[in-house]
Structure 1
Amino acid sequence: MTTNLTIGERVAWYRRRRGMSQEVLAGLVGRTVDWLSKAENNRIELDRLSVIKTLADALDVTLGDLLAEPTLMEWTTDSGTRTVPALRSALMNYRQLTPLLGVTTEGEPTPLDELKNSVAEVWDAYQDSRYGFATRRLPLVLADALITAQAQQGRDRERAQELMAMTYQGAAMVLTKVGETDLAWIAADRGLSAAQQSDNMAVTGSLFRSVAHCLLSNGRFEAAVQLVGDAADYLRPALRNADAKFLSIYGTLFLAGSMAAARADDRATTRAFLGEADRAARQLGHDANHMWTAFGPTNVAIHQVATAAELGDMQVAMDLGPQIDTSGLPTERRTRHNLEVARALSAHNRADDALSMILEAEQWAPEQVRSHYLARELVLTWVRNQRGRPSRPLAELAHRLHVV
C-alpha cells in the first residue's frame, strides 16, 4: 500500500494509522516537531538507517515497513515464472528440520564436483546481481545438496555439508537483496547448522557473516555487532595458520560488523572493525574473491565510504567515494558503491551527478538497483521535489523502478 511513498511519507502514513500526533512521535525519537514535519514532507532526507530504525521502533513497525520491502521480483528470461514462492517452499520443507521422523528425501545423490559447480553458479549469479536466475536455481540446488549430504559418509559427507552450507548462504544473500528478510534468516540459520557439521572454519565464518547480514536487514544492529565480536573471538585462533580463504572470510566478517556498528551509531566500534578488516586486507595484499568475498583493500575502502554515510558524514563519503576504482570488483560490489556515492552527492544537492551514478549502476545491475531501497528512495524523492516536470532520464528511471 505504501510502495509509491517516500520513507518520510510512510512515517506520516503509519503515524496517522497509530493515531499519533507529530508532537508525540517527535518526542519518542528525541527530535523536534519541525524536524519531523520536514522529514514527512521530504524537506529532510531520511537516508540513515539508524534514524529510520528509531522511527520504526517508535511506530511499532519493522524497518522493512518503512523501507517498503519486500519488492515484487519481476519475471525475466533468467527467472522464469517461479521465483521467491518456489524458494520459500524449498526452505519450508519439513524434511529438513529433523531426522527424528525417519524420512529421507527421494532422489539420487549428485556427484560432489557437480554439486560444487552448481553452488558456484548460484554464487556467481549473486555477484553478477542476477537475482532472478539465482532464485530459480536455488530450490533445485538445495534439494540436490540435501539428498547428497544424506547419502554420504565420512569426509565426503563433510564436503557435502560444506556445499549445503554455502547453498543456504547463497539463498540468504539473494533473499536479503530482494527484501525477503524473514526467509533469509531461515536460510542463514540452516546454513550455519550445516557449516558446523562440516567442521570447516572458513565455511563456518562465512555463515557467521551471512547471519550478521540478516540481522542488519532486520534492523537488529546491536545484535549484529555482538555477533561479529563473538564470531571473531571464535575464529581468531585459526588466524595463526590462515590461508587466503580464511583471511578473506575473517576480514569480510569485520566489514559486515562495521556496517552494523555504523547503523547503531557506534563510531568507536566502526573504527575498530574497519581497522581489523584493513589489517586482514593488508596481510592478504591484494583484491581477491576467495569464497565470493570480493575482499581486499578496495572493499575496505568501499566500506569506509558506506560507514561514513551511515554515520551522517556525507562530506567524507563524497570526498572518498568517487576516488575509489571499483572496476576490478564483482558487479554487486560496484553497484552498491555507486548507490552510496549517489546518496552522498544527493545530500549535497548534486542530484544530477547522483542520478548519473544510479543510471550507470542500472546499466550494470538492473535487478539490484530496482530492489535496493536507496535507489528507490533517492529517485522518488527527486521526483517529489521537482518544481516542474522531471527530466526525461529521471522520469524514465522512476518508471523502471516502479516508484511512480
Structure 2
Amino acid sequence: MSSDATPNPYADPVAFGQRMQIYRQRRGMSRPVLAGLLGKSPSWVKQVEAGQIQPPKLPMILRIAELLRVRDLADLTGDQSLHIDLFIGPGHPRLAAVKVAVDAFPFTADREAPSAQHLRHRLDRAWAARHEAPNHREVIGGLLPDLIRDAQLAVRQADTGTDRRAAMAILSEVYSLSQFFVAYQPDAALLWRVAERGMVAAQDSEDPHAIGVAAWLTAQAHRDSGPAHLGAADAVTLEALRYLEPRLPDADEHVRAIAGALQFEAGYTAARRGETGAAWGWWDKAEKTARKLPGNYFHPVTSFGRAIMGAHAVTVAVELHQGGESVRQAARADKSVIKSRPRRARHRIEEARAYQLDGQPDTALAALGKAHESAPETIRYNGYARRIVLEQTESRHPERRQRASELAVKLGMLAA
C-alpha cells in the first residue's frame, strides 16, 4: 500500500484525547475555559488530549460530552458499543401515526372541513391538555393526527382569502403543537418538516402571533441542532422581533407575550454561546416585557409571563455554567406559580443542572425526582436529566447510586 493512502479510521482509531481536542476546537473553546468548567486544571486537559494520562471515568466523560455538545457518546469515546444519544429521548409509540399525518399529501377529500371555530376549540383543548396532563406526549400524540388532517383540509377548502389566512394561522399552530410532540425524538427530519411547514403557514396567514410562535419554535430547533446553528437561531429570532416590534403598541397580550418569549430566546442562545452580558441583557428585556402583562397572564404556547421569568433566569445561569449563580436563581424562583406541568418539570430539571454544576448531586437527584412527579414524559425525553441520572448511577456513594438507578429505571434507561 502506498504511503499516501487514506488511513482506515477503524484500523487505527482516533484516541479519546484526540477526539476531545477536535470537539473542543470545533466549539471554539480554549483549554483553560474547558478546564474551569470541569473543575480541572488546563494541564489536566492538555494531558488527556495528548494521551499522557488515562481517559477519565464515565461521569467526567458525560460532563465533557455535555459541555462540548457531543450528541452521541460513541463519537467522543470511539467505542462503538456506547451509542448513547445524550440529547434525544426514546421514540414515542404515537410517533408513527403523527408522522403519517404530517407526511400525507392528499389532493381531494370526500368530506367537508370543520369550521375554523371548531378547529380553534379543539386546538385550545389540545394546548390545555399539553400543559395539564403528566403524560402530555401521550395525550397530544393521540389528538394530533386528526387535527393535522382537518387543519390541512380547512386550508384547501377555504373560499376566500380571509378564510384561507385564518385557516393558515390555525394550521401553523397545529404544526407548533406537533413540534412540541416531535422534539427530542429520534426523527430529526420530521422535526424540521414540521418546523418549516409551520413557518410557511404562519407567513401565509399574515398573523403576527402565528408568525411569532413559529419563529420561536424554529429558533429552538436551530439552537438544539448544535453550536454550528446558533447563528441561524439568532437570525430567526431577531428577524421575528424586527417584524413584531412596530406592531406591539396596538397588539393584544398574546402578541406582546410572544415578543417577550422571543427576547428570552435571544438571551438563551447568547448564553449557549457563552456571552454573559448579552444573555442577561436579553433576559432583562424579556423581564420588562413580562411586567407589562397582567400578573396572572400565561401564554398558551410558550408559558411566557411574569411567573416564568425566575425559571428563565435559572436557565441563563445554567447555560453560562455559573454554578453558584444558578443555585441562587433556583432558590429565588417560585416554581409553584408555573401553571404548565411540563414547564414546571422542565424548571426542576434546570434546577438539577444548577445543583449538579454546584457540586450538590443529591439535591440534583431530588429535583429530578420532583420533575418526574410533575410530568414523567418531560424528564424521560430530556437529555440533560438523562445525563445527570446516568452519571450518578456510577457514583461512589451507594445510597446516591441506588437513588439514581431507581430513577433510571423509571426513565426507561435501565431494566427493572
TM tier relative to shorter chain: 0.7 to 0.9
Q: What is the identity, as a one-letter code, of the residue corresponding to 2:18?
A: V
Match of 2:289 among 272, 280, 291: 280
Q: What is the identity, as a one-letter code, of the residue corresponding to 1:24?
A: Q
3-state secondary structure, aligned to 1:384: coil
| Correspondence for 1:71 | 90
| Correspondence for 1:22 | 16
User: Are 1:39 and 1:45, in contact at CA under 8 Å, matched by a contact in 2?
Assistant: no
| Correspondence for 1:143 | 149
Q: Deviations over 1:56-79 (max 9, x none)?
A: 9x86x9xx9741524132x5xxxx
In structure 1, how many angstroms separate the alpha carbons of the residues matched to 2:238 and 2:351?
28
In structure 1, how many angstroms separate the alpha carbons of the residues matched to 2:129 and 2:192?
20
Q: Deviations over 1:117-154 (max 9, x none)?
A: 22123222332351111112111100010111211223
Match of 1:398 among 385, 408, 411: 408
In structure 2, how many angstroms separate the alpha carbons of the residues matched to 1:90 and 1:17?
44
In structure 2, how many angstroms separate the alpha carbons of the residues matched to 1:288 and 1:296?
6
- Greater Cα offset, 299-308 or 280-289: 280-289
- Change in 2 beyond 3 A, CA 1:131/1:55: closer
Match of 1:336 among 319, 340, 346: 346
Map of 1:81-230 to 2, 5 A cutoff?
Answer: 83-95=94-106, 103-128=107-132, 130-154=136-160, 155-178=162-185, 180-219=187-226, 220-230=229-239
- Change in 2 beyond 3 A, CA 1:339/1:283: same
Higher relative contact order (CA 8 A, sep 6+): 1
Q: What is the identity, as a one-letter code, of the residue corresponding to 2:373?
A: Q
- Change in 2 beyond 3 A, CA 1:237/1:305: same
In structure 1, how many angstroms separate the alpha carbons of the residues matched to 2:296 and 2:322?
26
Query: C-alpha displacement at 1:232, in angstroms?
Result: 1.0
User: Are 1:251 and 1:277, in contact at CA under 8 Å, matched by a contact in 2?
Assistant: yes
Query: C-alpha displacement at 1:16, in angstroms?
Result: 7.8
| Correspondence for 2:257 | 248
3-state secondary structure, aligned to 2:335: coil
- Change in 2 beyond 3 A, CA 1:48/1:308: farther
User: Are 2:71 and 2:86, in contact at CA under 8 Å, matched by a contact in 1?
Assistant: no
Q: Deviations over 1:222-270 (max 9, x none)?
A: 2212221122112211122122111101001122222222112222331
In structure 2, how many angstroms separate the alpha carbons of the residues matched to 1:182 and 1:17?
32
Q: Deviations over 1:293-350 (max 9, x none)?
A: 3212232221111111111101101111122112222112211111111111122332
Larger Rg computed on CA atoms: 2
In structure 2, how many angstroms separate the alpha carbons of the residues matched to 1:392 and 1:25?
32
User: Are 2:355 and 2:364, in contact at CA under 8 Å, matched by a contact in 1?
Assistant: yes
3-state secondary structure, aligned to 1:371: coil
In structure 1, how many angstroms separate the alpha carbons of the residues matched to 2:12 and 2:87?
18
- Change in 2 beyond 3 A, CA 1:244/1:39: farther
User: Are 2:212 and 2:258, in contact at CA under 8 Å, matched by a contact in 1?
Assistant: yes
User: Are 1:48 and 1:309, in contact at CA under 8 Å, matched by a contact in 2?
Assistant: no
| Correspondence for 1:232 | 241
- Change in 2 beyond 3 A, CA 1:45/1:311: farther
User: Are 2:211 and 2:240, in contact at CA under 8 Å, matched by a contact in 1?
Assistant: no
TM-score, length basis structure 2? 0.81
| Correspondence for 1:4 | none
In structure 1, how many angstroms separate the alpha carbons of the residues matched to 2:100 and 2:192?
15
Query: C-alpha displacement at 1:355, in angstroms?
Result: 1.5
Residues 1:297 and 2:297 are matched in the alignment: no
| Correspondence for 1:11 | none
- Change in 2 beyond 3 A, CA 1:315/1:72: same
- Change in 2 beyond 3 A, CA 1:54/1:395: closer
In structure 2, how many angstroms separate the alpha carbons of the residues matched to 1:288 and 1:39?
48
Residues 1:309 and 2:314 are matched in the alignment: no
Identity %: 23
Q: What is the identity, as a one-letter code, of the residue corresponding to 1:22?
A: F
- Change in 2 beyond 3 A, CA 1:272/1:17: farther
In structure 2, how many angstroms separate the alpha carbons of the residues matched to 1:374 and 1:328?
23
3-state secondary structure, aligned to 1:218: coil
Query: C-alpha displacement at 1:27, in angstroms?
Result: 3.2
Q: Deviations over 1:147-203 (max 9, x none)?
A: 112112233322221111100010012211445443222111111111122221111
User: Are 2:87 and 2:184, in contact at CA under 8 Å, matched by a contact in 1?
Assistant: no
TM-score, length basis structure 1? 0.83
Residues 1:369 and 2:386 are matched in the alignment: no
3-state secondary structure, aligned to 2:393: helix
Match of 1:52 among 69, 73, 76: 69
- Change in 2 beyond 3 A, CA 1:120/1:251: same
User: Are 2:176 and 2:195, in contact at CA under 8 Å, matched by a contact in 1?
Assistant: yes
In structure 2, how many angstroms separate the alpha carbons of the residues matched to 1:18 and 1:93?
46
In structure 2, how many angstroms separate the alpha carbons of the residues matched to 1:105 and 1:135?
23
In structure 1, how many angstroms separate the alpha carbons of the residues matched to 2:258 and 2:103?
28
Query: C-alpha displacement at 1:395, in angstroms?
Result: 2.7
